[in-house]
Structure 1
């Protein structure tokens, strides 16, 4: 029999957010309670928040871990360092008999106040052999009456399902059941349910029929990755469309604690969409007198003066005209904001040899160039041509472009032809016009316009496909499936968690502001109301294994497998900044993931027998990316190699790939003449007033062709925000929990090694940018390729890889 003397007071520390950290509103209609004061209310020290420990080693008669007596916090702890000025620590003492109750492995928490609190952590001292037990929580806790099941948290120990302590199994399964929900009802702000839905909330046909948008996802015609379900009501007249009334629900813990900087970004996007920023209000007055830019100097004036409207984009910081060179145009294809589209030319049957041969290296012919692996293409004909008839009927004047480039002996690329395609006006067929480089007279102006039309294609494809579809949209189903089937104690959940931070939140805000009908993307980019439909068409050919960088490079023909080269890949364009830097980051991620996976899975059979992992993968394939579920390229998820490749690819997509296609938006595109997003005129023909204008005043004609003044200002404002790092960003190689994210020392040490490797890579990339023989690293604009440096300071830095798609 246990003696009463064996009942001890188990000491602990609870960390909560200060009340002043909760003073904010969530954009996208999601209003969270605002609180006043700068300290936690004294009532939290009596019976306002209750805690009950749960045993991981002693079970009751039903097999569930024993639950201890409810306990409340004692008082403030002032001796704990490094909490910052937005957290408070409280002491707590649990009545706990270790002989009878065993070792705590989880706890219940109840909030009896009317306001939500943010629970950071619970730490227990002297639990077993005088060790400390940590519970990293980072979760919003609402009043207990809001929940149908009690809020539970688990110690930072990772278990495969077959290895979980039996007394905790019931609690682990019940928590997953809670997170899955029952698929019914409209979600409330305090809910924590992860579920799937199609993109049926982009349109607002109840406001205007012109704001109707088709449902993306759930059909072969318009497939799409799934987004988080909100459960809002459908429109009566348009039952396939979800109402946009109320707030854009996301599971509560996906809404991170914002510091003023991160909250400011989303607020600014909301204001921009409503034309409420001071810059745009002043612009409305300006438009009465000046509806257009008339010269490049007028565009440059946006960056002039003691208090400029916008910061100077890096692409013109050192040289204001170098962007116009053919070398820079070509360099940005492999070192710009959309560096993963260029392909090797495999078929010469459609190439106009007569036009090309005068521009080939040393007069060699097309066949010789192909054989030497020196001819490359950026081709948007298949993706864009089907939409041109509809787009050009809206007032736009656009082409689908094919840009051919030749690799030179000095490692640079040279554009040798741009083909502009439009549908034949009489019906079937295509009208194609070829343009070749020129340096003098009106021919030079026409060549510059041809490059502009090609860049408009690239800018639109980048924003809708390379950026939105291939990172934001494609990652969200993984987040939902992970939380529905991988418990918080599962090692793969712990591995992937940092790479999901804020993604569902920023995606919900994108649906509310950026990609909605009539939103910023539709108003400032060429495709207008067809923008998201285009991304659905491209998703039909999405292949998850090809999102892995080495596979992508090989598939595009810009690299070949070669075990003699680092990372097993030989680049055919040796000085390819995105690829060379990206392969370094990819290899570091994969090495870290291999160590981690192999620590927990000693044999392939452990992967196949992991019930949670198998449920996660089955639902991810059949539901999350269910429109492509019949594809044969999906991994079977039966081996460690498949799990390692999956996790590496997902982490790459969420971190480095997103960084590469996001944080260069303003540095390259902030100067609209370098990266226009619209075209409003066709190429002028001889004998027309437009041709005469082009001959007389190239800058004015160019500016009348590309994105107009108003849309330029809006687009610049958005890109500036999206290209900036917030002060509370979490970068690759770092975790918000420090070393406390798992008890297992080997993974902790492997993660530290990963961080050190990333720091070494950053130094290597700096050295590459200082190598003057690598002409594509800086280019004519003298703009070093720094976007894949792992670290960054806050702000518009053109560097830094966040862990996740967080902006």
Structure 2
């Protein structure tokens, strides 16, 4: 058969192959030794020392079953030192010929050995004219280090096939199992960049107690008091002051973005790394923060008026020429700061105009749309945090806090406070017809409020009550601000209710009340909706997938694109964002209690509730189950952009996952009998989310339905949920008055100087209350970085070609891609529908955060496959 199809095949046959790789460039160098690898490698090759060898491994022939498939003769990559400069910074191709004979069988894997000092990135190996098989592709996409870094182990790469464990050809099983053992590591020692180990650790690296007790933070995870998802293990030594905390005394490595271990294959690509170096998020504390502080020092005062802050975006802030020249000459400015110093002959600091105020053509002229009650309410449905608002089921609102500890915490709202504003309905009628909703930041804040208010922050717990009007828009009808009783927590809350007003001092007080709500919502959004519920909860899934599912496992192949860059961005977050005295502590109101608060919220985290239909039902937004798009009429708020667009995306993902999984798992028994799948799910529950391992809601992973549901939730969290709560940060929060991150004064009371100032000059009182100028500039800069789509973004419905050789999964993925394109057109159409007032709102910002494809930069649209920023 072979000879008739391939007449050239003989007992000894040459299989031509193309090897595509990327060599290390200057941006990849981490240490002095790497700089020496180029010359050393060239000399070695000149002496006849071969540097990279490859060997085929048979998928169906073996000489010794205990040793795996038959291994062919090694071939080496020729002319390593003759690559031209264009290839050096891009892909390099090498042509080699493997020896083959009929006794070898079908190549199923390749062993790669690198004896170069430096590593290289192996992309693909393509075999041509394999007798009986034609072309065989090996998609590698991995960094290959010197073989001495992992003694006794050459790198193994499998042909681009997909196998359930029991379907794996016998000669390849040893390699499949051994590769997983290497990726799991032994749980010991400090991990090095070449280790490729995925393992778990507690969040014990947030504090830095060796630099002072003020930088100590609780260990999150591993206790009932502070439960938390696990993060990637680094193996660093404990701190000197606290043996339970990991030392943050790590060296600065020139040329690398990471001071902590991240598996090399999880690190940013060259292009993504270039983007990050340009905007220099990591350099923020060292370079940008001093620059921002210097800018603040150069301005004579804080923001006093809306015109002051609007200048940042429209005209720029004029700075003294001499001072700016000294600043620019003396501080190494990253690209972001160079960009905001406009080189048009004037010394200006100027930021991009956030979408929420793009309707302003010049400077502030009251009133502006962002200040309206309609926009305040609309952003709960279509803003950056549209996942908290819920149906109010009883009036007045109640608290779930323990009265033995916190006393009476139920709301003090009365019918008289709101009934006049319910379009003719009584409170009872509004409840019965499901027209009352609440944005409730009371119970989450109260336990920390006393401690928070001992810092520079001065704030309240808040409840905002909203009424659903006949045109499907919401209007706020009351805001309750609560503080703790001055004599102790057990005496309950001291609360005051504020109602809408448009003029005079009452209108000013109402604007301040909305600002306090926005402060709470901004903190909850950043710490819970964004960090905890996407970044933190998904990392254990990434780790477990790499530890327990082989790269040829079908579930690995469907999930892997949704983990791209996540460990890398989470490691950077632990270095500079969520750590003690990091950017989030500096910027958002909970300060040093930020991560501790997120741990408290994690206690109520439920994996199944992350499914969008379940979330909407739990919040009372959906009446009954939503099993398909035919059930959209079960939404109480018909014009709820996040829910409507999200459900379209959700069911598209679910169908793709169902069709894909059903191709490989024909019966529930196949799920139950898959040892890798069962080990993956067991480890995920018992270790990755080990503090919640006894929760009854975890799927048992005994049925195909449970597998489909679980994979759909994972993909939803990593893609659409993260996109919905991340990429609108600059659009809405880039303008600090719209979403202030801090409050510095309590509500003015009658008879005080603060109240008199409020009566006389609202704008000055407003800016004395919300985020300071320094923290405003810091926050704007941070959310600008976090809101940017990268140059190499890969969006939902996209993935590299040749990801599998199975035709049916390729076809259903194409159908998924096409369905997402249809959803894009549907979103465009809905955004043009004038009857859907919540889709653009008073600020005229179309809801595009769940638009499947996006654009580079601050586009405010697009769903990346993964949590990559």
1:501-650 map, 5 Å: 501-561=564-624, 566=629, 568-569=631-632, 570-650=634-714
Residue of structure 2 in register with 1:294 after alignment: 304
Superposition pairs for residues 113-192 of structure 1, below 5 Å? 113-148=116-151, 149-192=153-196
SS of the residue 2:70 aligns to: strand
Which residue pairs with 1:193 in the alignment? 197
1:449 aligns with 2:449: no
Matched, 1:252 2:313: no
Q: How many residues align?
A: 792
> In the alignment, which residue of structure 1 is the partner of 2:533?
470
Q: Name stretches of at least 5 consecutive residues in structure 2 with no aligned partner.
A: 251-258, 317-341, 343-348, 398-412
Distance (Å, rounded) in 1 between the aligned partners of 2:653 and 2:855: 22
> Is structure 2 residue 421 aligned with structure 1 residue 359?
yes
Cα distance in 2 between the residues matched to 1:285 and 1:544: 45
**Maintained 8 Å contact 1:280/1:714:** no
Distance 1:356 1:56, change over 3 A: same
Change (3 A) 1:468 1:266: farther
Whether the aligned pair in 1 keeps the contact of 2:55 and 2:73 (CA below 8 Å) is: yes
**1:338 and 2:385 aligned:** yes
Q: Deviations over 1:37-78 (max 9, x none)?
A: 99x9797897211111111111122341111111112469x9
2:724 to 645, 660, 668: 660
Tell me by how many angstroms 1:749 deviates. 1.1
Contact 1:55 1:66 in 2 (8 A): yes
Tell me how far 1:84 sits from its aligned partner.
12
Residue 230 of structure 1 pairs with residue 230 of structure 2 = no
For residues 131 and 495 of structure 1, what CA distance do their matches in structure 2 show? Answer: 26
Asked if the contact 1:11–1:124 (Cα under 8 Å) also holds between the matched residues in 2, the reply is yes
SS in 2 for 1:138: strand
Q: State the partner residue of 2:56.
A: 53
User: In the alignment, is residue 677 of structure 1 matched against residue 677 of structure 2?
Assistant: no
Q: TM-score, normalised by structure 1?
A: 0.95
Alpha-carbon distance, 1:264 to partner: 2.2
RMSD: 2.4
* Greater mean deviation of Cα atoms: 465-474 or 292-301: 292-301
Deviation at residue 291 of structure 1 after TM alignment: 4.3
Contact in 1 for aligned 2:296/2:773 (Cα 8 Å): no
Alignment correspondent of 2:561: 498
SS at structure 2 position matched to 1:580: helix
Question: Against the structure 1 CA distance between its residues 712 and 646, is the aligned structure 2 distance closer, same or farther, given a 3 Å change threshold?
Answer: same
Q: Structure 1 pair 782/235, CA: closer, same or farther in 2 (3 Å)?
A: same
1:250, distance to aligned residue in structure 2 (A): 1.2
- In the alignment, the residues of structure 1 paired with residue 231 and residue 628 of structure 2 have an alpha-carbon distance, to the nearest angstrom, of 40
Work out whether residues 396 and 679 of structure 1, in 8 Å CA contact, stay in contact via their aligned partners in 2. yes
Q: Which residue of 1 aligns with 2:256?
A: none
1:699, CA displacement in angstroms? Answer: 1.0
Judging changes above 3 Å, is the alpha-carbon distance between structure 1 residues 43 and 702 closer, same or farther for their aligned structure 2 residues?
farther
Match runs of 1:317-328 below 5 Å: 317-319=358-360, 321-328=368-375
| Aligned equivalent of 2:765, options 701, 714, 718 | 701
**Structure 2-normalised TM-score?**
0.88
Q: Displacement of 1:708 after TM fit? A: 0.3
User: Paired residue for 2:452?
Assistant: 391
CA apart distance, 1:309: 2.2
> Contact conserved, 1:518 with 1:529, CA < 8 A, in 2?
yes
How far apart, CA to CA, are the structure 1 residues paired with 2:552 and 2:149?
25
CA distance in 2, matches of 1:356, 1:44: 83
Contact 1:262 1:728 in 2 (8 A): no
More displaced stretch, 388-397 vs 62-71: 62-71
Q: Give the 3 Å change call, closer, same or farther, for CA 788–199 of structure 1 in structure 2.
A: same
**Residues 157-203 of structure 1 deviation map (CA, whole Å, 9 limit, x = unaligned):** 11111111111001000000010011000001111001100000000
Distance apart, 1:32 and its partner CA = 10
Whole-Å separation in 1 of the counterparts to 2:712 and 2:42: 44
Q: For the structure 1 residues 503 and 340, does the alpha-carbon distance in structure 2 shift closer, same or farther, using more than 3 Å as the test?
A: same
Provide closer, same or farther for how the CA distance between residues 219 and 562 of structure 1 changes in structure 2, counting only shifts above 3 A: closer
Q: Is the 8 A contact 1:66 1:101 kept in 2?
A: yes
Contact persistence 2:37–2:117 (CA under 8 A) = no
Structure 1: any 5+ residue segments left out of the alignment?
none
Q: Does the alignment pair 1:731 with 2:791?
A: no
- Structure 1 residue 207 and structure 2 residue 211: aligned? yes
Q: Partners in 1 of 2:480 and 2:300 — Cα distance?
A: 34
Structure 1 counterpart of 2:356, from 315, 321, 324: 315
- Offset, 1:305: 3.4
Residue 545 of structure 1 deviates from its aligned partner by 0.4
CA separation of 1:563 and 1:663: change in aligned 2, threshold 3 A:
closer
Give me the whole-angstrom Cα distance separating, in 1, the residues matched to 2:274 and 2:533: 23
